Structure 1
Amino acid sequence: MTHSIPPQGEQRPLLVAEGLTKHFPIMGGFPVKRRVGAVQAVDGIDLAIRAGESFGLVGESGCGKSTTGRLLTRLLEPTAGRIHYRGEDITHADRGRLAPIRSEIQMIFQDPYSSLNPRQTVGKIISGPMEINGIAPPGGREARVRELLEVVGLSPEHYNRFPHEFSGGQRQRIGVARALALEPKVIVADEPVSALDVSIQAQVVNLLARLRRELGIAFLFIAHDLAVVRHFSQRVAVMYLGRIVESGDRDDIYRRPRHPYTHALLSAVPEASDTADGPARERIRLTGDVPSPIRPPSGCRFRTRCWKAREKCAEEVPPLVPAEGDGEGHLTACHFPEFRPGP
C-alpha cells in the first residue's frame, strides 16, 4: 500500500491516517434485526498532515469528506485502519487517553447556525472548552475569551451577546474562536464557508489563513469548492466515493491533474479569462449518477462515469501511486492517467 506521507528527510507528519475505513451498518429484518449491508462511507484512505500546513480535501457531496474529518478528530470510531497523532496510535484510544489529545485536535463545523448553543452567551460558548478541560489562563477565562474575540475580528463587547444577534459570518468567527480556545495544533475545518454568503466567504478564509501563518496551526480544510481550496491549501487530496483518487502539491493538482475525475472537477470551476489569451477551457460533463456507497462498483469506483474506462478498470483497484513523470509527492489512483494540462 502506498501512503501520501512525506519521504524521509522531510518534516515528520503531525496527523497520519493509514487505511482509514468507516462502514455504517444497515440493519434489517423482523422481528430480529440483523446486519444486511453497510454504507462504505470511507474505504481505506491514507493521508498525512504536517505541522503548520494547510491540507485540502475536496470532492462531491457524499464522497466521505466530512466522515473523514470526524474520524480524524475521533468523533467517530473507525471500522478499520490506523490514526497516529505525533507518532502515537489513537485509533481506538479510550476517553482517558484521548483527553489531552482532544484539546490539540479541534473542529470547525459547517453550519454556524446549528453548531452554537442558542441558549448560551458568546462568552459561555467560547469558555466552555476551557472549563471542561480545567484550563485557567493567566488573567482568567473571561479575559482570554475577549482576547480571542479580537483575534477573530469581533469586538470584546460581544461577550454577553447570544448567537441569534449575529450574522452567519460572525457566528462562524465565534466557532473559530471556540476552536482556538484550547490552543490546538490541528483544526479540521468541515466546509467552514459553504453555508455563508459568497461576499463573506473570502473574509472567513482569509481569517483562517492568517491564523495558520501567525499561530502555526495545521488545517485539514474540507470543501467541495475547488477555488476556495486552491486559495487556502498547500497540498490537496481529491476524494471520490470513499477513496482518494489523487493527491499532491496544490500546483501539481491544479496545473497538471492526472485523474479523469480531477479533470472533470477542475473543468467546472468558473474562470474569468480573455478569449484572446487562448481557447476556452473544455467543460467535461460526467454522465450518470454517483454510484451507491452501499454497492460501489468493482475495481475503480469512478469507472462507471469515466470516458477512459476499460476492462482492466473493472477488474483491478488502481493503486495510489505516482504517474509516469510525476514525483513521489503527486499520487494518482488511475490505470490510464491523463497527461493534458490543467487550467
Structure 2
Amino acid sequence: MSETTGESGGEALLELSGLKKHFPLTGGLIFKRQVGQVHAVDGIDLTVHAGETLGLVGESGCGKSTTGRLAARLLEPTAGNIRYAGQEIGHASRRGLKPIRAEIQMIFQDPYSSLNPRHTVGSIVGGPMEINGINPAGGVKNRVQELLEIVGLNPEHYNRFPHEFSGGQRQRIGVARALSLNPKLIIADEPVSALDVSIQAQVVNLLQQLQRDMGIAFLFIAHDLAVVRHFSQRVAVMYLGKIVEIADRDSLYTRPRHPYTHALLSAVPEVTEDDEPRERIRLAGDVPSPINPPSGCRFRTRCWKAQDKCATEEPPLVRLEGNKEGHLTACHFPEQPSVHGRDVVLDPALRS
C-alpha cells in the first residue's frame, strides 16, 4: 500500500515511491572490485503534503539522513521514484533540476561544518540569490538583512564571520540561508541535535513560526522523539532502511502498533503525576549490519514477538484493522491498539 493514502490537509508536494539507495563496497589491494552493498535505503514510500511537517525518526544509521539527501537530489537514487509537485525528479539531469532547486532547501545537522568559515554571513545567505540570478527589490544586502531579522539575528551582523557566533546563532544563519530562495519544502536533517536544550526550543519554535507565516512544508529528520512530537503533524518510523510505521502524531504516540515504535517510545523520559516507573523495553542485541540485513522483517532479530513467519515473509506497510486510514504498520504481529505504556507484555529477559 502506498503511503500516499495518509490523511493530510494539503496536496502531495513530495512523493517518494520504492526509493532505494545502495552504496557499493569495494575490496582488493590492487584491483578494486565490488564485494557488497550497503542497503542504506531499501524501498520506501513517503509523502510530504504542502504546508505540513512529516517527522522521520529512528536510531542512528537507519537511513534517515540518506533519505533526506535523496529527496533533495543531493544523492542519485539506486532505484525508485522521487516526484516533486507532480514532476519526476529522481533521475533528472542537472539542467532538469535547476528550475526546482530553489523550491527544495536543506538545513544541515552540524551548524559548525555547514557554514563556510571564509565567507561572511552576507555572502552565505545572499549567495543562493546571486547563483540563481535573483535580484530582490531593494537589493541582495537588504534582503539578507531582512532574513537575519526574521530568524532572530541582528541585521548588522551582515559582515561577520561564522566563528563569531554561537551554535544556536549559526543554525539560525543556516535557516536564513534556506529561506533565501522562498522554498516550498525544507528538509531539516537533525537541525537541533548539536544544540543545547534551551537553544533547541528556540530553533524549533522559529521553524514552527516560519511554517505558519510562510506555509513551508518540512521533512523533519530527528532521533529526539519529544522534539518530533512538538513539531510534526505526521510521523514516520524508520528501521534499517525501511519504513515500519507511519501515522498522525497523536495516533502514533498514544497507540503505536509496531514493536519497534513501542520500544522507541518506551525510552522517552516522561514525568508522571503518580511517580510510578513506566515499563521500559530493552531491545536485545545490536542493530544488524545494513550490508547484510536480516531476511523477512528486519526487526525480527531484536523483536520479542518474532515467529518463523517473520524470517521468511517481509511484512507490507498496510493499514491494520481498527486503525485510521492514515495509520500504516509493517508487522505480522502488531501491538494491540491501546494506550501506549499501559499494557506492555514482555518476555522477562527484555524487562529493564
Alignment TM-score, normalising by the size of structure 1: 0.97
Is this contact kept in 1: 2:147–2:179, CA < 8 A? yes
2:324 maps to which residue? 327
1-structure distance, mates of 2:43, 2:120: 41
Is this contact kept in 2: 1:6–1:12, CA < 8 A? no
What per-residue deviation string (whole Å, max 9, x for no partner) do you get for residues 93-121 of structure 1? Answer: 01111011110000000000000001111
Unaligned 5+ runs, structure 1: none
1:280 maps to which residue? 277
1:246 maps to a residue whose letter is E
Shift of 1:272: 1.3
Question: SS of the residue aligned with 2:125?
Answer: helix
Shift of 1:12: 2.5
Is this contact kept in 1: 2:10–2:51, CA < 8 A? no
1:342 maps to which residue? 340
1:115 maps to which residue? 114
What per-residue deviation string (whole Å, max 9, x for no partner) do you get for residues 40-85 of structure 1? Answer: 0000000000000001000000000000000000000000000000
1-structure distance, mates of 2:10, 2:175: 27
1-structure distance, mates of 2:173, 2:6: 38
Please give the residue correspondences for 1:15-26 in structure 2 after superposition, counting only pairs within 5 Å: 15-26=14-25
2:347 maps to which residue? none
What per-residue deviation string (whole Å, max 9, x for no partner) do you get for residues 116-168 of structure 1? Answer: 00111100000010011010001100000000000000010110111001000
Question: SS of the residue aligned with 2:3?
Answer: coil
1:195 maps to which residue? 194
1-structure distance, mates of 2:109, 2:166: 15
Is this contact kept in 1: 2:105–2:178, CA < 8 A? yes
Question: SS of the residue aligned with 1:159?
Answer: helix
1:135 maps to which residue? 134
1:124 maps to which residue? 123
Shift of 1:9: 9.9
1:39 maps to which residue? 38
The share of aligned pairs that are identical, in percent, is 73
1:154 maps to which residue? 153
2-structure distance, mates of 1:90, 1:181: 22
1:301 partnered with 2:298:
yes
Is this contact kept in 2: 1:129–1:181, CA < 8 A? yes
- Quickly say closer, same or farther: Cα 1:90–1:267, change in 2 above 3 A: same
Shift of 1:11: 3.5
2-structure distance, mates of 1:63, 1:30: 30
Alignment TM-score, normalising by the size of structure 2: 0.95
- When structure 1 is superposed on structure 2, of 30-39 and 75-84 the one drifting more is 30-39
Question: SS of the residue aligned with 1:15?
Answer: strand
Please give the residue correspondences for 1:86-125 in structure 2 after superposition, counting only pairs within 5 Å: 86-125=85-124
- Quickly say closer, same or farther: Cα 1:7–1:122, change in 2 above 3 A: closer
Unaligned 5+ runs, structure 2: 342-352
2-structure distance, mates of 1:148, 1:31: 52
Question: SS of the residue aligned with 2:14?
Answer: strand
Shift of 1:6: 3.5
2-structure distance, mates of 1:300, 1:267: 21
1:318 partnered with 2:318:
no
2-structure distance, mates of 1:215, 1:230: 21
1-structure distance, mates of 2:190, 2:6: 29
What per-residue deviation string (whole Å, max 9, x for no partner) do you get for residues 272-292 of structure 1? Answer: 11116xx43211000100000
2-structure distance, mates of 1:28, 1:288: 28
Shift of 1:32: 2.0
2-structure distance, mates of 1:253, 1:190: 21
- Quickly say closer, same or farther: Cα 1:239–1:7, change in 2 above 3 A: closer
2-structure distance, mates of 1:265, 1:84: 30
Is this contact kept in 2: 1:52–1:217, CA < 8 A? yes
Shift of 1:327: 2.0
Question: SS of the residue aligned with 1:119?
Answer: coil
What per-residue deviation string (whole Å, max 9, x for no partner) do you get for residues 191-219 of structure 1? Answer: 00000011210000000010011100000
1-structure distance, mates of 2:318, 2:39: 22
